[in-house]
Structure formats: structure tokens, C-alpha cells
């Protein structure tokens, strides 16, 4: 950090000199127009009114990597790190199966499109303008999708509905895509004060959005686990006690998530306290479900479902915790 002393000019105006390195980098000279903007956190941003053209961030990935999974991870990692252009090149022809795997990975990332392709290379570019994206809308979209996944997952489990299970899995993929987009956006904002100011995000906002989005993504994964817990319908083998407990849990988890998301977005302590109350009720219902599970061929599967319910409840608590600290109310 560099400290500079403010100088007073007539009329109480304060002046401070600009760092020479920054002036040269932004090609400023006497008479250049500067823009000033106060950030949500109270800091003052100074930047050229006429922006210096920014070169897109580019990364080169080499095929073959040690194995395809590593290369797929590198594509996703480069996206999350904010690279605008991802080039994959090979000295030899890329086999069809591997090329398809790479293109599937690219299509899973919102805004990343293949702009060039030949037998030895694939180039993808991020085509969305970050300032046009809205972190809150993306987060709300994740919330709405996951809200619909849990009741459908339980119904698919009860009825053995293969198509409904597939639908839950597809929605989980969409939640993953939105999660990656949100991580890329808030990470870019945390490193670019100007972008953060345009998105009205503080550093704490960036951290909170990343964590809360991760928790919503984990809720989606747990819902998918429930849908895939069994390949046979369970309605006929479960007693009324288990069915009633499952219905109550699903209803209370939906109410928990609604309150948790409202608490996070509004920073309303009252909504946070509502999550605490609902959590205690859900824990009681899960305990009731576990007590009613007998020893039979479905015991292990039902125990896993109960565990998934508990994970979802904890995720809701952690989301609300970002607005209203739960410890030591929740243990």
C-alpha cells in the first residue's frame, strides 16, 4: 500500500497526486478526463473516463493432457478464473471421442462458445458482457430450480418414475452451470473494483455470494441423490408413518429454503430466526423417520435419504447464517 498526503487548495478543496506508474499504464496526460465513483463500501474509485482497451485474457491448453478428465478440469478451471479465450491445441489430430468430450464440457459453461475448430484445435470464447449480468438474479434462479427439485426427487423415489429422476438430474446440471457462472462473475468482481462498483458488490458480497451459491449447488446435489437412491418404487413398501414423515420434511425444507434465501438477500434477522425454528422442527421429523425405519432390504437406502434431508437442512442454515449468525443456536 502506498500512502499520499492530501494537499489543500483554496476553498477547502483537497488534492492528491496520482501514481506515475498508474498514469503511464492508463496513458494519461495533462487535461485527461478522469471519472470518480464512490463504491458501496465507501471507497473512492478513480479511473480514466475514456477506457484503455482491455485485451481479452487468453489461456493455451495442450492436448493430450495426462488424461481427459484433467483436461476437462482445466477447461472448467480456466473459465472460473475469468479467462475470456480458451485455446486447446494438439500436434496431432484430436480423436472424435475426445473432441466431443471437450465440446460437452464447454457447452456446460454459460456464455462460453466455440468460435473456431479444426482437426487439431478448439477455441472457445466467453461472449457475455459481465456488466450486463446480475448476481442476485442468477442466485434467485438457482434457488427456484433447487426448490422444485426436492419434491420431485421424493416423488420419483416413491413412484420409481424414471423420467422424473432424469428431469431432476437435468435440473441439477442447470444449477451447476449457473453456479459456475456466478463464481466466475463474483471472482472477477473481487479482482476488478470497477466491475464490482457497476454490479454494486462489496468484497464481502462477493464472498457471501460464492458461499451461498455453493450451498444451493449442494442442495441440488442432495436432491439428485434422493431421486437416485432406489431403482424400485417405495410407496408400496413404506408404512404411513414413513410417508407422513417424508411429506412433512419436504414441506418444512421448502419453507426453510425460502426463509434462508430471503434472509440472505435482505439481511433480515427475523427471517434468520425463522430458519432456526424450522430447523428444529425438521430435525425432529428426520429423527421420527429414522426411528420408524425397520431392518429390511430398504434400511440402508432410507438412512441415506434421511442423511440427504439433514444435509439440505444444514445448507439452509448456513445460507441464513450469512445474514443472521446461528452459532450457538444451531449445533
CB 146 within 8 A of CB 220: yes
* Superfamily name and number for 132-321: Phosphate transport system protein phou homolog 2; domain 2 (1.20.58.220)
Please determine, for residue 89, whether its predicted confidence score (pLDDT) is greater than 60. yes
Give the pLDDT mean for 99-122: 95
Count how many Cα atoms sit within 13 Å of the Cα of residue 302 in the half-sphere of its side chain: 25
pTM: 0.84
CA-based end-to-end distance of the chain? 41
When pLDDT is cut at 50, 70 and 90, the band that residue 43 belongs to is confident
Helical pair 135-159 and 203-227, crossing angle rounded to 10 deg: 10
Mean pLDDT of the chain: 88
Structural domain boundaries in the chain: 7-48, 58-126, 132-321
Grid cell digits, residue 255: 419453507
Query: Nearest-CA neighbor of 159 among 221, 229, 254?
Result: 229
Q: Note the CATH number of domain 58-126.
A: 3.30.110.140
**269, 246 contact by CB (below 8 A):** no
Burial track 57-93 (b if 16+ CB lie within 10 A, e otherwise): eebebebeeeebeebbebbbebbbebbbbbbbebeee
Position 79 pLDDT exceeds 70: yes
Is the confidence at residue 218, as pLDDT, over 90?
yes
Arithmetic mean of pLDDT, 311-323: 93
pLDDT at residue number 51: 63
Query: Concatenated DSSP letters for 138-183?
Result: HHHHHHHHHHHHHHHHHHHHHHT-HHHHHHHHHHHHHHHHHHHHHH
Amino acid at each position: 500500500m502506498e500512502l499520499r498526503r492530501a494537499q489543500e487548495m483554496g476553498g477547502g478543496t483537497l488534492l492528491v497526486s496520482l501514481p506515475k506508474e498508474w498514469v503511464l499504464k492508463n496513458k494519461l496526460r495533462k487535461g485527461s478526463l478522469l471519472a470518480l465513483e464512490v463504491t458501496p463500501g465507501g471507497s473512492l474509485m478513480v479511473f480514466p473516463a475514456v477506457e484503455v482497451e482491455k485485451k481479452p485474457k487468453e489461456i493455451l491448453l495442450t492436448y493430450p493432457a495426462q488424461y481427459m478428465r484433467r483436461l476437462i478440469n482445466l477447461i472448467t478451471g480456466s473459465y472460473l478464473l475469468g479467462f475470456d479465450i480458451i485455446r486447446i491445441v494438439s500436434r496431432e489430430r484430436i480423436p472424435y471421442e475426445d473432441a466431443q468430450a471437450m465440446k460437452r464440457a464447454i457447452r456446460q459453461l454459460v456464455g462460453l462458445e466455440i468460435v473456431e475448430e479444426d482437426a487439431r484445435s478448439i477455441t472457445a470464447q466467453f461472449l457475455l458482457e459481465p456488466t450486463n449480468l446480475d448476481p442476485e438474479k442468477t442466485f434467485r434462479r438457482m434457488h427456484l430450480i433447487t426448490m422444485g427439485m426436492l419434491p420431485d426427487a421424493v416423488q420419483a423415489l416413491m413412484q420409481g418414475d424414471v423420467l422424473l429422476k432424469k428431469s431432476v438430474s437435468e435440473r441439477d446440471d442447470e444449477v451447476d452451470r449457473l453456479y459456475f457462472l456466478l463464481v466466475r462473475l463474483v471472482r472477477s468482481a473481487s479482482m476488478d473494483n470497477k466491475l464490482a462498483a457497476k454490479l454494486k458488490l462489496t468484497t464481502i458480497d462477493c464472498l457471501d455470494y460464492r458461499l451461498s451459491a455453493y450451498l444451493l449447488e449442494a442442495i441440488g446435489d442432495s436432491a439428485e441423490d434422493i431421486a437416485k437412491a432406489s431403482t424400485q418404487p417405495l410407496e408400496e413398501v413404506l408404512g404411513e408413518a414413513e410417508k407422513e414423515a417424508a411429506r412433512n420434511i419436504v414441506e418444512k425444507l421448502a419453507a426453510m429454503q425460502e426463509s434462508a434465501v430471503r434472509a440472505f438477500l435482505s439481511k433480515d434477522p427475523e427471517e434468520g430466526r425463522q430458519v432456526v425454528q424450522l430447523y428444529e422442527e425438521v430435525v425432529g421429523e428426520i429423527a421420527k423417520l429414522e426411528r420408524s425405519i425397520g431392518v429390511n432390504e430398504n434400511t440402508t437406502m432410507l438412512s441415506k435419504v434421511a442423511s440427504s434431508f439433514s444435509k439440505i437442512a444444514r445448507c439452509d442454515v448456513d445460507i441464513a447464517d450469512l445474514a443472521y449468525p446461528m452459532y450457538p443456536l444451531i449445533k
